[in-house]
């Protein structure tokens, strides 16, 4: 089976129906006709002339007609959609670590933490583990020799030996 690649220039061009009117413009211009016909048939008084139906269809013709105008190769409808998405974007980006993957903070803990004032000068004393005390004694002993080596993967080897 033979397959061909369609260039991007071919897929991005708009089809023209009559003159310079594209399919989107034609749909925009025909929509008020259909909505006017439906409103004429369904809104009271049914199938009778009424002034509010004329104003509804007239307003639709004006709005959809303006949306079908081209400016710089794009329809005004496309410009409105671009501006709407631009204005709908978030203005402030906040990094939130309070997700299930990282940690779970409930509203109660946030309220309780906000009420408690922390003193930054408070220092908690933590008793070291007995093996850490032994290691400190070995390192600080005047007769011991300490050698440090880095591994290939970034590890750190500490060798403490007694020198005699």
Which residues, listed in sequence order, are joined to residue 16 by a DSSP beta bridge? 22
Dump the DSSP string for 102-116: T----HHHHHHHHHS
The predicted model scores a pTM of 0.50
Query: Alpha-carbon distance 147 to 17, whole Å?
Result: 84
pLDDT of 149 above 60: yes
Measured over the CA atoms of residue 12, residue 18, residue 23 and residue 25, the dihedral's sign is positive
For 92-110, what is each residue's pLDDT tens digit? 877 766 665 656 556 665 5
Q: Which two tokens stand for residue 3?
A: 């397959």
Higher pLDDT, 39 or 132: 39
pLDDT of 58 above 60: yes
With a pLDDT cut of 90, the percent of the chain lying above it is 39
Question: What are the domain boundaries of the chain?
Answer: 15-87, 130-162
For 17-54, what is each residue's pLDDT tens digit? 888 899 999 999 999 999 999 999 999 998 999 999 99
């Amino acid at each position: 089976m033979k397959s061909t690649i369609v260039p991007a220039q071919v897929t991005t061009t708009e089809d023209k129906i009559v003159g310079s009117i594209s399919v989107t413009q034609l749909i925009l211009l025909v929509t008020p006709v259909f909505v006017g016909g439906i409103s004429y048939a369904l809104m009271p008084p049914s199938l009778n002339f009424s002034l509010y139906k004329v104003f509804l269809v007239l307003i639709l013709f004006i709005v959809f007609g303006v949306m079908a105008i081209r400016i710089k190769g794009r329809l005004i409808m496309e410009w409105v959609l671009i501006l709407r998405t631009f204005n709908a974007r978030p203005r402030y980006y906040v990094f939130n670590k309070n997700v299930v993957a990282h940690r779970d903070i409930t509203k109660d803990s946030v309220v309780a933490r906000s009420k408690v004032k922390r003193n930054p000068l408070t220092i908690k004393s933590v008793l070291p583990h007995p093996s850490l005390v032994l290691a400190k004694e070995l390192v600080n002993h005047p007769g011991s020799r300490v050698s440090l080596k880095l591994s290939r993967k970034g590890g750190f080897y500490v060798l403490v030996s007694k020198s005699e």
